[in-house]
C-alpha cells in the first residue's frame, strides 16, 4: 500500500501551481463580477501545460494519465479560483478517446475545447437519465436522439458550455430510451450564458433543435456514468483546493490579529472552528484518494467514491468559506477581502454545477 | 497510488485466512450469560491466536511476536473480522502496554510479563486517568513514596479502567515528586491487581452496564523494581503508551464496528424509510464521513509503511467516527421508533455508549486544541501551570475554588 504522491504527481502539481501563478486569477475573479471580460482566458495555459489531453490515451495524442492526476490539477485550479474549463472538457475528452472519435487528436491538443453535457445516470429512485432543470427541482429527461439521427432537447446549468467548440451530449434514443453519447459541433448548438454569482464558473443553458450529431460508437451506459462521476470527483478536487486556501489564509490571520491582548487563534472558539476545517479537508482528501483508486482498480465503487468525495468537498468548502468570513470579522464579508470570492465559488459550485443533488439516488 | 496487497501480502493473507478457516469453530461465542466463563474462553482463544502468530504481529520475534509491520497487523485484523470471530481480548495490553514495556521496561520485566500478556494468561489494564486528571493527564495525584528499603507505597484513585476486574497487572502513572513542575515528577509502575490495598469497583454507564472500573489504592506496597522506565521519567513513558493508543485506535477503526454498511443495512430493511429522501440524505451524509475515516486509516497505514509516525491530526478520525455514529444512532432511532431503544437492542446500546466515547482517550475539545496548536500552528491557550511546582499549583487551585 502506498498512498503518497509519486514523483511524477508531485511534479504535475507543482507545475500546475506554477503555471496558474502567472495569472492573477483571484483578483480577476473579483474584477469579472463587474466586468465579465476581465476573466482571463486560461485555455492557452491549459493547452500549454498539456491538461487538455491529460486523460486522453497516448495513442490518441494525450498524456494517458489517470483520474487522480486530473484531480491534482483541479485542486490547484480551485486553490486560486482559476476557471480552467476542465470540468467540462475532461469527461468529454475521456468519452471521445474511448470511442476513438476523429476529433480526439484536436481535443487532446486543445485546439478544440470540448464540453460534457451531462445527464444524471439512473438510480433506484429515479430510473431515467435526467438533466438539471433551469429552475425548480423537478428533474427533466435527457435530450432525445430521433431515429433519423437528430438531437433535440435542452440541458441547463452546464459548466464550461459558453464558447466550447464541441459538445459531448448524454442523450437517450427515441425508440427505446437507451443512453447514447452524441457529439455536436458548436454551430448546431444554442448556448445561453447562464453564469451566476461566481464569475469563474461559466455556465450555460444548452439547447438542441433537431441538431445534427455523431453517435459515439461503443459508448454505453457504463462509460456515460463513469464520465458523470468523473465530473463529480473533479468538482470535489476543485473544492479541496479552495478549502486549502481558505484554511491557510484563516490560520495566518488568526495568528496575527490580536484582541484583548491575545492572538485570536488562541481562543478556542476560533481554534476549534479552524480544526473543523482541517477535519473536513482531511476527509475530502481521503475520499479523493478513494475515488482515484476506484477509478483505476475498483470501477464498481467509483460512483460511490466520487459521490462521497463530492458531498464531502461541498460540505468542506461550505464550512471553510463561512469560517474564513467569520475569522476575518466584518472585513471578511466585504470586497476588500478575498473571502467573499471563495464563498461565491462554494455557493455557485454547489447549486449550479452538475448534480445539485449531492448524493445521487 | 496503490491500495492493493503486494504478492507477499496476498500470500500472508491467504495463510492467515487458512488458519482462521480451520480454527474459527473453536472461537468463543458470547451468550450474554456468564461473563466470567466468557472471559476465560476469550483468554484461551487469545492464546490460540498468539500460538498461531496472529497476536502481537508487530512485536519483535525475540519477545514472542512476529516482527512484522503495520500492514500485516491490519491484514490479521481484517481477516479476523471477516471470519466473524473475536480478536485478542487484551487489546490494551497487546496493543499499548506491551509495546510500552518493550520500549521502556527492564530485561526482567520483559521476560516476566510479555509472554503471559501476549497469550492471554495475564490480562493488563491501563491505570492513567483519575477523576481530576484525564485530558490533562500530567495532573495525576496518585502518590508513590519511596521507602527506605527501596520499595514504594502507593495511594490514590484511578478511573475509566477497562478490564480492571479481571486484570492481573496494571501499568500505573503516579506522582513521585510534587515539588517539581507537574510533567517532571511522574513515574510509571507495574502494579499487581491482587496486591493488598487494591479495591476495584464497577462504574455503571448510561446503558446500565459497567464496562469501566474505578480503582482505589490504599497504601499499596510495590517492589523496588516495579518502576517501568526511570523514576521521574513517567511522562515520557506515558507518551509512548499514548502513541500506541493512537495507533491501536487508528489501525483498528474498522474493527470498532461503526461501519457504513451496518447502518445502511438497518435502513434498507425498513421498506418505507429506504425510499424516504430525507432519511437517505441523512444516511448518505453520515456514511460519507465513515467512508472518509476508512480511507484516512489507509493513509495512516501508508505513512507507517514509509516509516513515518502519524501526527496528532490522526485523532480527527476518531472525532469523525464518533460524530457519525451518533448521527447514525439518531437516524435509526427516528426510523425504528421506540423499538430502537428496547433493552436488548444493539442500537440502544450504541446510543448509550457514544456520549462517553466522545471523551475517551481525551476530550474532543482538548484534542482540537492540540491539533490547532501542533498541526495548524495556532497560538496556545494561556497556561497557568507552566514551570510551577505541582504542590504549589494544587494550592493555587484550592485557593481559587475557596475564593
- The cell numbers describing A346, all together, are 462554494
> Is the distance from CB of B275 to CB of B343 less than 8 angstroms?
no
A328 versus B360: the higher-pLDDT residue is A328
Percent of chain A with pLDDT over 70: 96
Task: Band the pLDDT of B219: cuts 50, 70, 90.
Answer: very high
**Minimum CA–CA partner of A304 in chain B:** B288
Residue B14 three-state SS: helix
Residues 6+ apart with CB under 8 A from A133: A139, A140, A156
- The cell numbers describing B203, all together, are 462504574
Same domain for B350 and B257: yes
Q: How far apart are CA B271 and CA B273, in angstroms?
A: 6
Average pLDDT over residues B136-153: 97
- Which one, of A18, A12, A129, lies nearest residue A67 by Cα? A12
Q: How far apart are CA A64 and CA A124, in angstroms?
A: 34
What is the domain range of residue B357? 252-362
> Is the distance from CB of B157 to CB of B214 less than 8 angstroms?
yes
Residues 6+ apart with CB under 8 A from A107: A52, A53, A56, A89, A92, A93, A96, A113, A114, A166
> Is the distance from CB of B390 to CB of B179 less than 8 angstroms?
yes
The answer to whether position B135 is within a domain reads yes
Whole-number Cα distances in Å, A227 to A347, B298, B382: 23, 26, 52
From chain A, pick out residues whose CB is under 8 angstroms from the CB of B289: 283, 312
Same domain for B355 and B260: yes
The torsion region of residue A22 among left (phi > 0), alpha (psi -120 to 50) and beta comes to alpha
Nearest by CB: A1 against B71, B292, B296:
B71
- The cell numbers describing A336, all together, are 476588500
- B295 touching chain A per CB within 8 A: yes
Which ranges constitute the DSSP H helices of B135-276? 234-251, 260-268
Average pLDDT over residues B254-267: 85
Q: How far apart are CA B92 and CA B124, in angstroms?
A: 7
Average pLDDT over residues A43-67: 97
Same domain for B78 and B33: yes
Average pLDDT over residues B308-315: 83
A59, HSE (Cβ side, Cα atoms, 13 Å): 7
- A1 touching chain B per CB within 8 A: yes
Q: How far is A24 from chain B (nearest CA, A)?
A: 27
The strand ranges marked E within B30-134 are 124-127
State the distance between the two ends of chain A, measured CA to CA, in whole angstroms: 32
B19, HSE (Cβ side, Cα atoms, 13 Å): 15
- Which one, of B90, B93, B95, B16, lies nearest residue B53 by Cα? B16
From A77-91, B154-168, B254-268, the region with the lowest mean pLDDT = B254-268
Specify the number of domains making up chain B. Answer: 3
pLDDT tens for B345-357 read: 999 999 999 999 8
Q: How far is B9 from chain A (nearest CA, A)?
A: 10
> Is the distance from CB of A270 to CB of A264 less than 8 angstroms?
yes
A351 versus A6: the higher-pLDDT residue is A6
Which ranges constitute the DSSP H helices of chain A? 7-21, 25-34, 43-49, 67-79, 86-98, 104-109, 221-256, 268-297, 302-328, 339-352
Task: Band the pLDDT of A196: cuts 50, 70, 90.
Answer: confident
Concerning whether B289 is annotated as a catalytic residue, the answer is no
> Is the distance from CB of A310 to CB of A232 less than 8 angstroms?
yes
Average pLDDT over residues A244-270: 97
Surface-to-core class of residue A269, CB atoms within 10 Å of its CB (0-12 exposed, 13-18 middle, 19+ buried): exposed
Domain ranges of chain A: 7-109, 114-219, 222-352
CB contact under 8 A, B372 and A274: yes
A145, HSE (Cβ side, Cα atoms, 13 Å): 21
Percent helix, strand and coil across chain A, each rounded to 5? Answer: 55, 15, 30
A114-219 adopts what CATH topology? Butyryl-CoA Dehydrogenase, subunit A; domain 2 (2.40.110)
pLDDT tens for B81-120 read: 899 999 999 999 999 999 999 999 999 999 999 999 999 9
Cβ burial A155-170 (10 Å sphere, 16+ → b, else e)? bbbbbbbbebebbbbb
CB contact under 8 A, A311 and B302: no
> Is the distance from CB of B94 to CB of B124 less than 8 angstroms?
no
- B31 touching chain A per CB within 8 A: no
Q: How far is B259 from chain A (nearest CA, A)?
A: 15
A114, HSE (Cβ side, Cα atoms, 13 Å): 30
Helix A268-297, helix A221-256: angle, nearest 10: 160
Q: What's residue A124's pLDDT?
A: 85
Cα B388 versus chain centre, distance = 31
The answer to whether position B394 is within a domain reads no
Average pLDDT over residues A108-124: 94
Q: Which among A71-75, A121-125, B241-245 has the top mean pLDDT?
A: A71-75
Nearest by CB: B291 against A268, A270, A290:
A290
Q: What's residue B310's pLDDT?
A: 79
Residue of B261, B298, B368 to mutate for A, most A C-beta atoms under 10 A: B368
CB contact under 8 A, B302 and A2: yes
Strand partners, A169: A117, A182
Q: What's residue A361's pLDDT?
A: 29
> Is the distance from CB of A310 to CB of A304 less than 8 angstroms?
no
The answer to whether position B319 is within a domain reads yes
Mean residue pLDDT of chain B comes to 93
A222-352 adopts what CATH topology? Butyryl-CoA Dehydrogenase, subunit A; domain 3 (1.20.140)
CB contact under 8 A, A271 and B378: yes
The answer to whether position B101 is within a domain reads no
From chain B, pick out residues whose CB is under 8 angstroms from the CB of A3: 1-3, 298-299, 302
Q: In the A/B pair of chains, how many CB contacts fall below 8 A?
A: 140
Q: What's residue A270's pLDDT?
A: 98
- B296 touching chain A per CB within 8 A: yes
- B8 touching chain A per CB within 8 A: no
Q: What's residue B94's pLDDT?
A: 97
Q: What's residue B153's pLDDT?
A: 98
- A282 touching chain B per CB within 8 A: yes
Q: How far apart are CA A244 and CA A235, in angstroms?
A: 14
Count CB atoms within 10 A of the CB of residue B348.
20
Surface-to-core class of residue B298, CB atoms within 10 Å of its CB (0-12 exposed, 13-18 middle, 19+ buried): middle
Q: How far apart are CA B258 and CA B255, in angstroms?
A: 8
The answer to whether position B60 is within a domain reads yes
Nearest by CB: A265 against B5, B284, B379:
B379
pLDDT tens for B287-310 read: 999 999 999 988 988 888 888 887
Q: How far apart are CA B253 and CA B255, in angstroms?
A: 5
Q: How far is B302 from chain A (nearest CA, A)?
A: 5
- Which one, of B176, B172, B134, B141, lies nearest residue B156 by Cα? B141
Which ranges constitute the DSSP H helices of B228-315? 234-251, 260-268, 277-305
Same domain for B200 and B144: yes
- A254 touching chain B per CB within 8 A: yes
Q: How far apart are CA B125 and CA A34, in angstroms?
A: 66
Q: Report the relative pairing of strands B124-127 and B198-203 from DSSP bridges.
A: unpaired
- The cell numbers describing B243, all together, are 502513541
- Which one, of B139, B146, B135, lies nearest residue B176 by Cα? B146
Helix A268-297, helix A302-328: angle, nearest 10: 160
> Is the distance from CB of A334 to CB of A340 less than 8 angstroms?
yes
Domain at B322, CATH number: 1.20.140.10
- B275 touching chain A per CB within 8 A: yes
Same domain for B348 and B266: yes
CATH 1.10.540.10 assigned to A7-109:
yes
Catalytic member of B245, B346, B381, B392: B245
Average pLDDT over residues A79-94: 96
- Which one, of A245, A254, A287, lies nearest residue A273 by Cα? A254
Q: How far is B237 from chain A (nearest CA, A)?
A: 28
Domain at B191, CATH number: 2.40.110.10
The 8-class DSSP code of residue B272 comes to: T
CB contact under 8 A, A289 and B365: no
Q: How far apart are CA A237 and CA A135, in angstroms?
A: 26
Backbone φ and ψ for B172, nearest 5 degrees, come out as -120, 135
Report the predicted TM-score, pTM, of the whole model to 2 decimal places. 0.94
Average pLDDT over residues B1-11: 87
The answer to whether position B375 is within a domain reads no
Q: What's residue B253's pLDDT?
A: 56
B106, HSE (Cβ side, Cα atoms, 13 Å): 13
Q: How far apart are CA A83 and CA A70, in angstroms?
A: 14
Task: Band the pLDDT of A136: cuts 50, 70, 90.
Answer: low
Residue of B254, B372, B373, B380 to mutate for A, most A C-beta atoms under 10 A: B372
Q: Which residue in the block uniquely carries the three cell numbers 460511490?
A: A304
Percent of chain B with pLDDT over 90: 79
pLDDT at A302 over 50: yes
Backbone φ and ψ for B14, nearest 5 degrees, come out as -65, -40
pLDDT tens for A216-243 read: 999 999 999 999 999 999 999 999 999 9
The answer to whether position B147 is within a domain reads yes
CB contact under 8 A, B281 and A359: yes
B11, HSE (Cβ side, Cα atoms, 13 Å): 3
The answer to whether position B216 is within a domain reads yes
Same domain for B130 and B226: yes
CB contact under 8 A, A3 and B302: yes
Q: What is the ipTM of this complex?
A: 0.94
CB contact under 8 A, B288 and A312: yes
CB contact under 8 A, A283 and B320: yes
Amino acid at each position: 500500500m502506498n498512498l503518497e504522491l509519486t514523483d511524477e504527481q508531485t511534479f504535475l502539481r507543482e507545475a500546475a501551481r506554477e503555471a496558474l501563478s502567472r495569472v492573477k486569477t483571484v483578483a480577476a475573479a473579483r474584477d469579472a463580477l463587474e466586468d465579465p471580460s476581465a476573466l482571463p482566458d486560461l485555455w492557452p495555459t491549459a493547452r500549454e501545460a498539456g491538461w487538455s489531453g491529460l486523460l486522453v490515451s497516448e495513442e490518441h495524442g494525450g498524456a494517458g494519465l489517470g483520474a487522480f492526476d486530473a484531480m491534482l490539477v483541479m485542486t490547484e485550479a480551485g486553490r486560486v479560483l482559476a476557471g480552467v474549463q476542465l470540468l467540462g472538457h475532461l469527461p468529454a475528452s475521456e468519452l471521445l478517446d474511448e470511442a476513438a472519435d476523429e476529433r480526439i487528436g484536436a481535443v487532446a491538443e486543445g485546439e478544440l475545447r470540448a464540453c460534457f453535457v451531462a445527464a444524471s445516470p439512473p438510480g433506484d429512485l429515479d430510473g431515467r437519465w435526467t438533466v438539471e432543470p433551469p429552475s425548480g427541482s423537478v428533474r427533466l429527461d435527457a435530450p432525445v436522439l430521433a431515429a433519423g439521427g437528430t438531437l433535440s432537447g435542452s440541458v441547463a446549468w452546464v459548466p464550461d458550455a459558453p464558447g466550447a467548440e464541441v459538445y459531448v451530449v448524454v442523450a437517450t434514443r427515441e425508440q427505446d430510451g437507451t443512453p447514447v453519447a452524441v457529439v455536436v459541433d458548436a454551430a448546431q448548438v444554442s448556448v445561453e450564458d447562464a453564469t451566476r454569482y461566481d464569475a469563474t464558473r461559466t455556465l450555460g443553458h444548452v439547447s438542441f433543435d433537431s441538431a445534427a450529431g455523431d453517435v459515439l460508437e461503443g459508448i454505453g451506459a457504463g462509460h456515460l456514468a463513469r464520465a458523470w462521476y468523473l465530473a463529480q470527483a473533479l468538482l470535489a478536487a476543485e473544492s479541496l483546493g479552495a478549502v486549502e486556501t481558505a484554511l491557510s489564509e484563516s490560520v495566518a490571520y488568526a495568528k496575527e490579529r490580536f484582541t484583548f491582548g491575545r492572538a485570536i487563534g488562541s481562543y478556542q472558539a476560533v481554534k476549534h472552528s479552524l480544526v473543523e476545517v482541517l477535519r473536513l479537508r482531511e476527509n475530502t482528501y481521503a475520499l479523493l484518494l478513494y475515488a482515484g483508486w476506484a477509478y483505476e482498480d475498483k470501477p464498481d465503487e467509483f460512483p460511490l467514491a466520487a459521490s462521497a468525495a463530492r458531498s464531502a468537498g461541498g460540505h468542506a468548502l461550505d464550512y471553510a468559506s463561512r469560517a474564513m468570513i467569520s475569522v476575518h470579522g466584518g472585513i471578511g464579508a466585504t470586497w476588500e477581502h478575498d473571502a467573499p470570492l471563495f464563498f461565491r465559488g462554494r455557493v455557485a459550485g454547489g447549486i449550479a454545477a452538475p448534480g445539485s443533488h449531492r448524493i445521487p439516488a | 497510488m496503490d491500495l492493493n496487497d503486494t504478492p507477499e501480502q496476498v500470500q500472508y493473507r491467504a495463510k492467515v485466512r487458512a488458519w482462521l478457516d480451520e480454527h474459527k469453530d473453536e472461537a468463543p461465542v458470547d451468550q450474554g450469560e456468564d461473563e466470567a466463563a466468557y472471559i476465560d474462553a476469550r483468554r484461551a482463544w487469545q492464546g490460540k491466536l498468539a500460538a498461531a502468530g496472529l497476536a502481537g504481529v508487530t512485536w519483535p520475534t525475540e519477545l514472542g511476536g512476529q516482527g512484522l509491520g503495520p500492514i500485516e497487523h491490519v491484514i490479521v485484523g481484517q481477516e479476523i473480522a471477516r471470519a466473524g470471530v473475536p480478536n485478542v481480548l487484551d487489546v490494551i495490553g497487546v496493543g499499548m502496554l506491551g509495546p510500552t514495556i518493550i520500549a521502556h521496561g527492564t530485561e526482567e520485566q520483559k521476560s516476566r510479563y510479555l509472554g503471559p500478556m501476549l497469550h492471554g494468561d495475564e490480562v493488563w489494564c491501563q491505570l492513567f486517568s483519575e477523576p481530576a486528571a484525564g485530558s490533562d493527564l500530567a495532573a495525576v495525584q496518585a502518590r508513590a513514596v519511596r521507602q527506605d528499603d527501596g520499595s514504594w507505597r502507593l495511594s490514590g484513585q484511578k478511573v475509566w479502567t477497562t478490564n480492571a476486574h479481571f486484570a492481573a497487572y496494571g501499568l500505573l502513572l503516579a506522582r513521585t515528586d510534587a515539588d517539581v513542575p507537574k510533567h517532571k515528577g511522574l513515574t510509571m509502575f507495574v502494579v499487581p491487581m491482587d496486591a493488598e490495598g487494591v479495591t476495584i469497583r464497577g462504574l455503571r454507564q448510561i446503558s446500565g452496564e459497567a464496562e469501566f472500573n474505578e480503582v482505589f489504592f490504599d497504601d499499596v506496597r510495590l517492589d523496588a523494581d516495579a518502576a517501568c522506565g526511570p523514576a521521574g521519567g513517567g511522562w515520557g513513558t506515558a507518551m509512548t503508551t499514548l502513541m500506541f493508543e493512537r495507533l491501536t485506535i487508528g489501525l483498528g477503526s474498522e474493527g470498532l464496528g461503526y461501519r457504513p454498511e451496518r447502518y445502511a443495512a438497518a435502513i434498507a430493511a425498513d421498506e418505507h424509510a429506504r425510499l424516504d429522501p430525507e432519511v437517505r440524505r441523512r444516511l448518505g451524509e453520515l456514511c460519507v464521513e465513515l467512508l472518509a475515516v476508512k480511507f484516512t486509516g489507509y493513509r495512516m497505514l501508508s505513512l507507517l509503511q514509509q516509516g513515518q509516525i502519524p501526527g496528532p491530526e490522526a485523532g480527527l478520525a476518531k472525532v469523525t467516527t464518533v460524530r457519525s455514529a451518533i448521527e447514525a444512532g439518531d437516524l435509526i432511532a427516528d426510523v425504528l421508533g421506540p423499538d430502537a431503544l428496547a433493552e436488548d437492542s444493539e442500537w440502544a446500546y450504541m446510543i448509550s455508549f457514544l456520549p462517553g466515547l466522545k471523551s475517551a482517550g481525551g476530550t474532543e475539545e482538548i484534542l482540537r486544541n492540540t491539533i490547532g496548536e501542533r498541526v495548524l500552528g495556532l497560538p496556545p491557550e494561556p497556561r497557568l501551570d507552566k514551570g510551577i511546582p505541582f504542590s504549589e499549583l494544587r494550592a493555587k487551585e484550592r485557593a481559587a475554588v475557596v475564593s
